Amino acid sequence: MKIGKLELPKYPILLAPMEDVSDPSFRFMCKYYGADLMYTEFVASEAIIRNIEKTLKKLTITQNERPIGIQLYGHNIDVMVESAKIISEYKPNLIDINFGCPVKKIAKRGAGAGMMRDIPKMIEMTSKIVKATKLDVTVKTRLGWDDESKNIVEVSERLQDVGIKAITIHGRTRAQMYKGKADWNLIGEIKNNQRMKIPIIGNGDVTSGEIAKKMFDKYGVDAIMIGRGSIGKPWIFKEIKHFLEKENEMEAISLDEKIKMAKLHFKKSLEWKGEKRGIYEMRKHFSIYFKSLRNFKPIRLRLLTSTEPEEIINILDEIKIKYYNVKN
């Protein structure tokens, strides 16, 4: 499968851009377990042109993360174009435009999924960004603003016409946020639209290899993007690829491997974000790493409230001793 100049394997599995999740520490883990293309956390165009250090840091990518895209969001066309030029200097493999984030503070300003309420502006913005950079440009969006405005079939055609190289579609409207089931029927309709020549990437509710295979087989998508299903479970990419190849579930990852993973992930989180923030943002992952363990609540509470790195490492070691020989 190709996205512009980028060559990807058949049935590629992508890591979604997620705020406070898709940082370098988590990307390291997902790449290790087989993510074919990853994205940075999404970055605000206004913050880029104002040289906000915290935002510019998110643009940092390393060679071993490639291929990788940087996702950009904003509501002002000129600012988005200028920030796309700045992003180009960091040499990602592609730039992705965020027309899908449903968070109120973003959407109400007309950015993210808020752009679904002004399609002419969306198309104009995309066209100008495509013309402003030599990098391949892609888009991530949703089915529409709400159930009465599921206009993604027409929108996809118009975005393709102004030069994007792939489109990722989350199978919910903005009004749904992340509630209810993702509807892949319209995603399949877009893939089967003879006018569409660019890759169609499906996103939403893929949490296992079996589900991923169903989406590839039933809807014919070119790739699948994993978002929330990867949080605290970076090995999901390996699980999905195993199922796609073997059509059975791979052997459960051992508790010993999960603990080694958690320690490495934690170490890299501290290196990247510092002690206080690194600990805080690992909690969402820790709560899922060991979700399947029985009678885990007391240890989980300690793991999610500790503020000392050494204590957290000791708790992880304690888990290994207490649940010795547990596979998952």
Question: Could you read off the pLDDT of 57-83 as tens digits, one per residue?
Answer: 999 999 999 999 999 999 999 999 999
Indicate if 30 belongs to the active site.
no
Condensed to tens digits (0 to 9), the pLDDT of residues 176-205 reads 999 999 999 999 999 999 999 999 999 999
* All residues at 6 or more sequence positions from 27 whose CB lies less than 8 Å from its CB, including other chains: 15, 35, 38, 40, 65, 68
Of the residues 229, 246, 263, the one at which a domain ends: 246
Instruction: Kindly state whether residues 284 and 241 are assigned to the same domain.
Output: no
> 117-126 burial string, b = 16+ CB within 10 Å, else e?
eebeebbebb
For the cut 60, the answer to whether the pLDDT of residue 327 exceeds it is no
Least Cα distance to 40 among 63, 24, 56 occurs for 24
The answer as to whether 328 is a domain residue is no
Average pLDDT in the chain:
95
Of the residues 227, 246, 265, the one at which a domain ends: 246
Condensed to tens digits (0 to 9), the pLDDT of residues 211-266 reads 999 999 999 999 999 999 999 999 999 999 999 999 999 998 999 999 999 999 99
Which long-range CB contacts under 8 A does 208-214 form with residues at least 24 apart? 208/236, 208/239, 208/240, 208/243, 208/249, 209/239, 209/240, 209/241, 209/242, 209/243, 209/244, 209/249, 209/250, 210/243, 210/249, 212/13, 212/240, 212/243, 212/244, 213/243, 213/244, 213/247
Return the pLDDT at 326.
Answer: 57
Give pTM, 2 decimals: 0.94
Instruction: Kindly state whether residues 72 and 208 are assigned to the same domain.
Output: yes
Return the pLDDT at 324.
Answer: 72
Domain that holds residue 317: 255-322
Instruction: Kindly state whether residues 217 and 289 are assigned to the same domain.
Output: no
Which is the catalytic residue, given 101, 115, 119, 226? 101
Distance CA 280, CA 304 (A): 8
